[in-house]
Structure 1
């Protein structure tokens, strides 16, 4: 939803060109978007409303000024929660399952996910955007390849913490990152984020085997 303003800006610039017209069109589009999704089982209607960070990213087309970028990362970093005992490296085998499964909290009236699976229920659908296990051919390329992630970076405390934070809330490290805020939005629990962290970093993980 965070690119909504980009569409509005293009429409307004081409067809209207005034601040009043922009506000009027914005209100109409917001109403249209809201009416396109029907409440019911499996529908998380709260996702239709942008939070402060999403509004800023839309306003600046995902390229905010340094001051706003700093404000975003500071605010988002404050949302990060860690597992019990602050153990950021979990079970890489479970992390492998979580990376391969899940729908990332999709919404829609055609086939909504059961409520039990929407948040912390099944996985992060990581392969939709990233290549991970080199043996898996069905992988996305929207995000960078994560094959050999730990082999290239090592498994220092700094790398583990960075990886966990990035998975939990990507905007805590890069303002207006296009990566979903997995932990922040409840798609993954802190323990699950730790499991995927281990999958990426652990030397035993198939990602890091030559």
Structure 2
């Protein structure tokens, strides 16, 4: 750790010297310089690879807007959402719903994706860290809205094929798979898109949210 820290300090010092000897780098060059410095401070470790720091156009646009202190313009936001919507992988054979009991386990688990984890073990959804899921919970995050009564409030019935239920079920799948398809700069992880959750796991979480028998809707 000390060696990595020293390397980072050296790189920052070099960057400062270079910046002082030349004209001030533009935003694009500065972003690349920062990215290179950050990446030099990390290494592949276990299942976690340095490539996890790579960003796509969506993240870059949202980061730039955040730095500028203003939201994306409407045209850019809609274009980003449209592009992310195309990336959603809809369920095989149209099976949107899994087992809500399995979904509850996934939503309440924050395990996975750290260098000490076994790649063969399933990841958790970590949903509880941002949302209330069950009214009996005494500890939950508030970054995202409460999900309690999610399906009930949206009119999902015991028949998932009814027009009202189907629309909400499909939206819920898409939101979990890639939240940026519906909100360009959403803070919600793109669980399916980024490979955090498998297709089967997404189906289980959808069931947790919309199944009338789930504790979410009691």
TM-score scaled to structure 1, two decimals? Answer: 0.81
Query: How do residues 89-168 of structure 1 correspond to structure 2 at under 5 angstroms?
Result: 89-103=97-111, 105=113, 107=114, 112-117=116-121, 121-155=122-156, 156-168=165-177
Question: Which residue in 1 is equivalent to 2:6?
Answer: none
Q: What's the secondary structure of 2:87's corresponding residue?
A: coil
Q: Cα–Cα, structure 1 residues 93 and 74, in superposed 2: closer, same or farther, change >3 Å?
A: same
Question: Which residue in 2 is equivalent to 1:57?
Answer: 62
Counterpart Cα distance in 2 of 1:104 and 1:41 = 12
Task: Kindly state the Cα deviation for residue 114 of structure 1 after the two structures are TM-superposed.
Answer: 2.6
Counterpart Cα distance in 1 of 2:95 and 2:29 = 50
Question: Which residue in 1 is equivalent to 2:52?
Answer: 47
Question: What are the Cα deviations for residues 49-76 of structure 1, in whole angstroms up to 9, with x where unaligned?
Answer: 1111111111222721111111111111
Q: What's the secondary structure of 2:120's corresponding residue?
A: helix
Question: What are the Cα deviations for residues 108-145 of structure 1, in whole angstroms up to 9, with x where unaligned?
Answer: xxx5433234xxx2321100111101112121111111
Q: Cα–Cα, structure 1 residues 67 and 196, in superposed 2: closer, same or farther, change >3 Å?
A: same
Unaligned stretches of 5+ residues in structure 1: 1-14
Unaligned stretches of 5+ residues in structure 2: 1-18, 157-164
Q: What's the secondary structure of 2:43's corresponding residue?
A: coil
Question: Which residue in 2 is equivalent to 1:5?
Answer: none
Counterpart Cα distance in 1 of 2:52 and 2:199 = 21
Counterpart Cα distance in 2 of 1:24 and 1:56 = 15
Counterpart Cα distance in 1 of 2:111 and 2:24 = 39
2:37 to 32, 38, 49: 32
1:75 to 83, 86, 89: 83
CA-based RMSD of the aligned residues comes to 2.2
Aligned residues of 1:57 and 1:64 also touching (Cα < 8 A):
yes
2:188 to 179, 182, 186: 179
Q: Cα–Cα, structure 1 residues 60 and 24, in superposed 2: closer, same or farther, change >3 Å?
A: closer
Question: Which residue in 2 is equivalent to 1:203?
Answer: 212
Q: What's the secondary structure of 2:175's corresponding residue?
A: helix
Counterpart Cα distance in 1 of 2:176 and 2:205 = 8
